[in-house]
Amino acid sequence: MPPGLLTLLHLQFKGLLRRTLLSLRTLRGIIFSSIGLLLFVFWALPSVLSLRHGRTDPALVRTFTPIILLVVCVISLITSGGDKAVAFTPAEVGFLFPGPFTRRQLLGYKLIKSFVGAAASGAFLSLLFLRHCASWPAAFVGLLLSMMFAQLFAMTVMLVGQGVGERLYTRGRKLIVGAIIAAVGVTAWPHLKHGMPENPTDLAAQLRNSPAGRILLLPLEPFGRTMTAPTAVQILQWSSLAAVVDLVLLLVVMWLDVNYLEAAVTGSQKLYDRIQRARRGGVAAIAAPKAGRLRLPAFPWLAGAGPTGWRQLTSALRSSRGMLFLLFILAISVGPLLVAARNQAQAAGLVLGLAAWTTVIMAGTMRFDFRGDLDQMDLLKSLPLPPAAVAAGELFAPVLIMTFAHEALIVAAAFRLRSHREILLAGAALSPLFNLLLFALENLLFLYFPTRIGPASPGDFQNFGRQIVMFLLKFILMALAGGVAAAAAMLTWFLTRSLPLTIAAAAAVLLIESLCLIPLMAIAYDRFDPSTDTPT
Amino acid sequence: MIQVIDFHKTYRDTVAVAGLSFEVLPGQVLGLLGPNGAGKTTTMRAICGIIPPTQGRLIVAGHDVIADPVSAKRELAYVPDDPKLFDALTVWEHLQFTASAYRVPDFEPAATALLDRFELAEQRNKLAQELSRGMRQKVAICCAYLHNPKAVLLDEPLTGLDPRGIRTMKESVRQRAASGAAFVVSSHLLALVQDLCTHLLILHRGQRLFFGATEQARAAFADLKSDASLEELFFRATEAPEAQPVPVTMNSPT
């Protein structure tokens, strides 16, 4: 490894430490970091205490770990085509690619960086996963080797793809993925055709012990075995085997010596662009927007809210193909899941779980509102639009999309949950107002405490602490607002025993709460100073 | 110092550069001109060894960029358009890394002198993410100059620089060229090219329209006045190029 690359690694590590320590020089930094650290300790404590009792059955870990790694491999194969490449940061492309380094040296640099990152992540994750492992060393070593396996496998398939040519590679990986899915499907079908099994562990064990499973999972066995190895000698034995698997992949990567630089330049730039889009619009905006045939008609003026609403909805529809596709899949797949559920209670649980997941995940990832307009605040504030109109317009797209997700879920559930249809109808009626309240609150808090989505590094307790504090604040405020609406609904029901009036009472409270937040949003937006309030 | 011989670059069905040949001798400053998509950045990246040629040879300071990339890259420096720095590193650490990568012994005096010259001395301990666009450009230029490369490739080097920075940049190019370095400067700022460059290479859709000394460029297009500006020359060369006579070229490599 040339000294220049070692120097760079050393300087980058030093820079990361410095950034972490700098954040502790402000009171807010200390508070958020302390909260983050405290929460991490609370999160890890049960796992650490489980060393004495309450540990997961090692057989479960040995069963599931290879299957999880196999799924990771299949995902790598599926997603490795097209413009995927070994990713370097723009600065690395600019300095290292024209620099006096060979391709292998740059790969070595990349892998060392990945190893250090995996070691840091492994140190934290090993505490969280301790209950599933025999000891901390077993957890750490097993996780580290597993993460390196995932990285090396992804790198290998990318380099093989670039080496053999796109057409041949695409055909090859389709064959391999198809063969794996067919093997899993043939093994699993006899157990699935009568409905979902009570215990998925049995299904996993069947897969693992099938002839196809044994062949596919054999090289992945040492990773789970390492994590559950009860003695130091066994940790050493199994980790050595796992390390051999990693080493084989490393040797393949180095031996190939594919000229990946050109693909890496393009791929890295696209990855960088995706990260920048995600920092602006959340995970939902990662895909590059494409105009396509989609052209929304112009919205009516609506006191100035129309243009903003049109812009955000157009951006959402053009940038979030992946998210919208996921929503569509969710909506049509919930039906078979509900059919497969054994009883109404299980079905109701599925619906509630899915609704909660969509709301929590999508509210945070779908930032087609002020949160995604952080870099356009200069432009927004220069427009001749009243702040309240801008605030209302910014809420249109996320509320509409989230409501669509909820309604699709509810409609799908209504076919199955016959005895719960009235509750589902109430949910359908209240969903738009609930979402309006949710996103109004999200945006109000954002305007007062603007943040950017950034890459998290292990040990970034300040970022973790800040996210937890904001999440708790949102949760408390939503709970309060929702509580008032629920109280009004309960009172109305008690007095009238009429479902429509009960729903109307809850809706009225939610509407009043939402309408009160919009002027607050307008004030916060009006006060927002892009020169000082925009985070880096 | 820089020789490009029959360079072709094709992406699937798109020909980015077709049969390009030119050379830049020590002391020469070659202005690389062309409309957007002409193949300028592709050519520069190929010379730096970032992208492989589909066909052809690229030689830097006597080293083949494909056959012996490390030796070739030791002799050159490349400053891309809008250079990206390592956010977590300070200005000084960028120079420290560059010195280590190019094995520059006792780099501190040279690095300090560069920072003083480009007015970055006060930003020495600032993180890259705290710098303005122009300061980042200057840091990239300082890093490029630190190991005294024999070949320097600059893509839009003046973007973001203030007037003093522009003057310093131009002076540095002249001084290093006078010391024997070969420069390739790609820019849309024709005034810069006119002021700084000794030779011109005009590209259009991957093809060479003109290569030669700047003062002979006007003679290559018979219908141009003798006092025509570079802007007039550029538009003459790039508008309906297929209708033009084959221009006279000078210093073509054999």
Q: Where are the domains of chain B?
A: 1-75+151-162+181-254, 83-148
CB contact under 8 A, B50 and A261: yes
Q: A307 and A416: one domain?
A: yes
Say how far apart CA B178 and CA A26 lie, in whole Å: 51
What pLDDT was estimated at residue B248?
44
**Widest distance between CA atoms in chain A:** 81
Average pLDDT over residues B154-167: 92
- Exposed e or buried b for every residue in B112-130, given b needs 16+ CB within 10 A? eebbebbebeebeeebbee
Average pLDDT for A109-134: 87
Is residue A491 domain-resident?
yes
- CA-to-CA dists, residue A339 to A257, A333, A349, A406, angstroms: 51, 10, 13, 19
**Residues of B whose CB is below 8 A from A2:** 101
Q: B219: buried, middle or exposed (CB in 10 Å: 19+, 13-18, 0-12)?
A: middle
Same domain, A343 and A491: yes
Contact present, A66 and A223 (Cβ < 8 Å): yes
Mean pLDDT (chain A) is 81
Query: In angstroms, rounded to a whole number, what is the distance separating the alpha carbons of residues A526 and A508?
Result: 28
Q: Are residues A235 and A328 in the same domain?
A: no
Q: Which residue out of A18, A86, A97 would a mutagenesis test of the B interface target, given it has the greatest number of B Cβ atoms within 10 Å? A: A97
- The per-residue pLDDT for B254 is 37
Which residues of chain A does B127 touch, with a Cβ-Cβ cutoff of 8 Å? Answer: 15, 19
% of chain A residues with pLDDT over 70: 82
Query: B86 and A93: CB-CB below 8 Å?
Result: no
- A212 and A357 assigned to the same domain: no
Residues A231 and A369 in one domain: no
Q: Which residue has the tokens 């002979």?
A: B216
Q: What is the pLDDT of residue B22?
A: 94
A324, A426: one domain: yes
Of A59-63, A413-417, B20-24, the range with the lowest mean pLDDT is A413-417
Judge: A95–B96 Cβ closer than 8 Å, yes or no.
Answer: no
Contacts of A98 in chain B (CB under 8 A): 48-50, 73, 76-78
- Considering only CB atoms, A262 lies closest to which of B52, B70, B101, namely B52
Contact across the interface for B49 and A261, Cβ inside 8 Å:
yes
Same domain (yes/no): A190, A335: no
- Amino acid (one-letter) located at B215: E
Q: Residue A257's pLDDT is what?
A: 78
Are B86 and A16 in contact (CB < 8 Å)? Answer: no
| A310 lies in the same domain as A269 | no
Query: What is the average per-residue pLDDT within A276-281?
Result: 67
pLDDT of A237 strictly over 50: yes
Q: Cα-flanking dihedrals φ and ψ of residue A369, to 5°?
A: -155, -155
Both A366 and A255 in a single domain? no
CB B76 within 8 A of CB B152: yes
Residues in chain B within 8 Å Cβ distance of A259: 52
Give the B-side interface with A, CB within 8 Å: 45, 48-52, 69-71, 73-74, 76-78, 80, 83-90, 93, 96-98, 100-103, 127-129, 140, 143
Q: Are residues A369 and A252 part of one domain?
A: no
Burial class (CB in 10 A: 0-12, 13-18, 19+), A269: middle
CB-based contact, A493 to chain B, within 8 Å: no
> In Å, what is the CA distance from B227 to each residue of A56, A433, B100, B233?
85, 72, 48, 10
**Polymer length in residues for chain A:** 536
The sign of the dihedral angle between the CA atoms of A92, A93, A94, A97 is positive
Closest in B86, B100, B128 to A4, CB measured: B100
Within 20-49 of A, beta carbons closer than 8 Å to B belong to none
Choose among A17, A90, A8: nearest CA to B97.
A8
CB B123 within 8 A of CB B91: yes
The tens digit of pLDDT for each residue in A427-444 reads 888 889 999 999 999 999
| Residue A34, domain member (yes or no) | no
pTM score of the predicted model: 0.77
More confident of the two residues A181 and A492? A492
CA distance B49 to B77: 11
Q: Does residue A73 have a pLDDT over 90? A: no
Both tokens of A490, joined, read 């309960």
Number of domains in chain A: 2
**A206 and A344 in a common domain:** no
Residue A261 to chain B, least CA–CA distance (Å) = 6
Beta-carbon separation of B96 and A3 below 8 A: no
For residues B216 and A292, give the distance between their C-alpha atoms in angstroms, rounded to a whole number: 48
**What pLDDT, on a 0 to 100 scale, did the predictor assign at position A339?**
61
The pair of structure tokens assigned to A182 is: 């067919």
The closest alpha carbon to B166, from B197, B134, B139, B144, belongs to B134
Phi-psi region of A84 (alpha: psi -120 to 50; beta: other; left: phi over 0): beta
The residue to which tokens 């690395």 are assigned: A92
> How confident is residue A208, by pLDDT bands cut at 50, 70 and 90?
confident
Closest CA to B57 of B68, B45, B65: B65
d(CA A413, CA A347): 8
Q: Quick one: angle between helices A321-340 and A305-319, nearest 10?
A: 70
Give the long-range contacts of residues A508-517, CB within 8 A, separation 24 or more: A509/A484, A509/A485, A510/A430, A510/A433, A510/A434, A510/A436, A510/A437, A510/A481, A510/A485, A511/A433, A511/A436, A513/A437, A513/A481, A513/A484, A513/A485, A514/A433, A514/A436, A514/A437, A514/A440, A517/A437, A517/A440, A517/A441, A517/A444
Partner residue facing B73 (CB), from A16, A100, A262: A100
Task: Tell me: pLDDT of A244 over 90.
Answer: yes
Of B50, B52, B100, the CB nearest to A98: B50
Query: Nearest C-alpha of chain A: how many angstroms from B70?
Result: 4
The predicted pLDDT at position A4 comes to 93
pLDDT given for residue A159 in this prediction: 86
pLDDT digits (tens, 9 = 90+) for A301-319: 888 888 888 888 888 887 7
| Domain membership flag for residue A375 | yes
* A378 and A502 belong to one structural domain: yes
Q: A376 lies in which domain range?
A: 302-533
- How confident is residue A85, by pLDDT bands cut at 50, 70 and 90? confident
pLDDT digits (tens, 9 = 90+) for B57-72: 999 999 999 899 889 9
- Residues 88 to 107 of A: which have CB under 8 A from any B CB? 89-91, 93-102
CATH of domain B1-75+151-162+181-254: 3.40.50.300
Look up residue A169 and give its two tokens: 């590679």
Is residue B203 within 8 Å of B39, Cβ to Cβ? yes
In the prediction, which pLDDT does A115 show? 92
pLDDT value of position A54: 64
Q: Is A8 on the interface with B (CB under 8 A)?
A: yes
Among A482, A286, A282, A316, residue whose Cα is nearest residue A396: A316
Residue A342: pLDDT band by 50, 70, 90 thresholds? low
What is the pLDDT, as a whole number, of residue A324? 66
